[in-house]
């Protein structure tokens, strides 16, 4: 466990409020959404499945799990610990580290100081690897930046304020990649599932009805992937979940018919491809 004094509150706060320059690819609207996302990530306030189950238990059953790995709760930590997202998460984290290293090399060149020992300190930090017990990596992703980040640049004769700006820009680049490669695909997958379950925007923005039974919704992991490909054995998931959770089979009828439609569409698509 890392101590709180290992983190520099001024750079963390500056980074949270940092706004990248606007251009054709990053408009004021993009900047506003980026800032909102960054604060929600920092405060652990993103609408992960576990949060949705607590706030809207009428729409999201307690048994729902991560669709990617099926058997895990989907909280913020699992968002980047999931086995199906670990590789892209590690890639963007490595890009974060490489970006810092490139700036340290530039600073060392300007100051005529060998930055190798400082780079070794940077790469030895525990925040670059993920595990369920490594709090520092979880803190870094959320935006709690290590004090050492500042110290490394200051040791290369970079003014503290300039160092903070460099680090803030690098971290914001990381947050954009995290949103694009981790959060957005997850949100798209979730919206496809909600559409299949007829969980509309109107339903999500109206008060929870007092007479709605939880069993009217299928478990999150019981539906097919939101693609034309249907995995082997998935057509029986609805029945297994009915038996597992003791739900009446007819509560799954609409889900079953939806799956049947997907299977029929797949069959027709394959037939059409043969004649192309």
C-alpha distances in Å from residue 132, one per residue of 44, 125, 141, 182? 16, 16, 14, 18
Question: Does residue 70 contact residue 83 with C-beta atoms inside 8 Å?
Answer: no
Which of residues 221 and 181 earns the better pLDDT score? Answer: 181
- Greatest mean pLDDT range, 74-88, 108-122, 131-145, 224-238: 108-122
Q: In terms of residues, how long is the chain?
A: 276
Encoded tokens for 245: 């959770």
pLDDT, tens digit (0-9, with 9 covering 90-100), for 227-245: 433 333 433 443 444 444 4
Encoded tokens for 1: 């466990």
Residue 252 CB neighbour total at 10 angstroms: 21
SS3 assignment for 204-256: HHCCCCCCCCHHHCCCHHHCCCCCCCCCCCHHHHHHHHHHHHCCCHHHHHHHH
Q: What is the pLDDT of residue 8?
A: 55
pLDDT, tens digit (0-9, with 9 covering 90-100), for 89-103: 999 999 999 999 999
Residue with tokens 């306030």: 45
C-alpha distances in Å from residue 98, one per residue of 7, 93, 154, 224? 20, 9, 19, 38
Q: What is the pLDDT of residue 242?
A: 41
C-alpha distances in Å from residue 84, one per residue of 5, 70, 135, 182, 208? 33, 11, 21, 10, 33
User: DSSP character for 4?
Assistant: G
Q: What is the pLDDT of residue 25?
A: 65
Helices and strands (H and E) in the chain: how many:
13, 0
Predicted TM-score (pTM) above 0.85:
no
Helix (H) / strand (E) element for 111: namely helix 86-111
DSSP class per residue in 149-194: HHHHHHTTT--HHHHHHHHHHHHHHHHHHHIIIIIHHHHHHHHHHH
Residue with tokens 């009805």: 209
pLDDT at residue 3 above 50?
no
Q: Look over the chain and give the mean of its residue pLDDT values, rounded to a whole number.
A: 75
């Amino acid at each position: 466990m890392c101590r709180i004094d290992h983190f520099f509150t001024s750079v963390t706060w500056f980074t949270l409020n940092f706004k990248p320059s606007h251009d054709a690819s990053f408009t004021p609207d993009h900047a506003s959404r980026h800032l909102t996302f960054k604060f929600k990530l920092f405060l652990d306030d993103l609408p992960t499945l576990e949060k949705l189950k607590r706030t809207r238990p009428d729409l999201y059953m307690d048994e729902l799990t991560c669709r990617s790995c099926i058997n895990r709760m989907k909280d913020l930590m699992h968002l980047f610990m999931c086995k199906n997202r670990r590789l892209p998460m590690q890639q963007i984290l490595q890009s974060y580290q490489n970006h810092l290293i490139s700036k340290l090399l530039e600073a060392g060149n300007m100051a005529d100081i060998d930055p190798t020992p400082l780079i070794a300190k940077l790469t030895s930090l525990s925040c670059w690897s993920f595990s369920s017990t490594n709090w520092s990596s979880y803190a870094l992703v959320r935006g709690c930046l290590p004090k050492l980040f500042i110290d490394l640049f200051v040791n290369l004769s970079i003014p503290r304020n300039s160092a903070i700006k460099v680090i803030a820009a690098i971290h914001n680049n990381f947050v954009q990649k995290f949103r694009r490669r981790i959060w957005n695909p997850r949100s798209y997958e979730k919206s496809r599932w909600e559409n299949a379950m007829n969980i509309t925007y109107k339903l999500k923005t109206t008060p929870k009805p007092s007479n709605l039974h939880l069993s009217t919704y299928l478990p999150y992991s019981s539906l097919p992937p939101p693609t034309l490909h249907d995995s082997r054995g998935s057509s029986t998931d609805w029945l297994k979940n009915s038996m597992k959770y003791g739900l009446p089979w007819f509560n799954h009828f609409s889900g079953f018919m939806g799956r049947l439609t997907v299977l029929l569409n797949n069959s027709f698509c394959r037939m059409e491809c043969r004649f192309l």
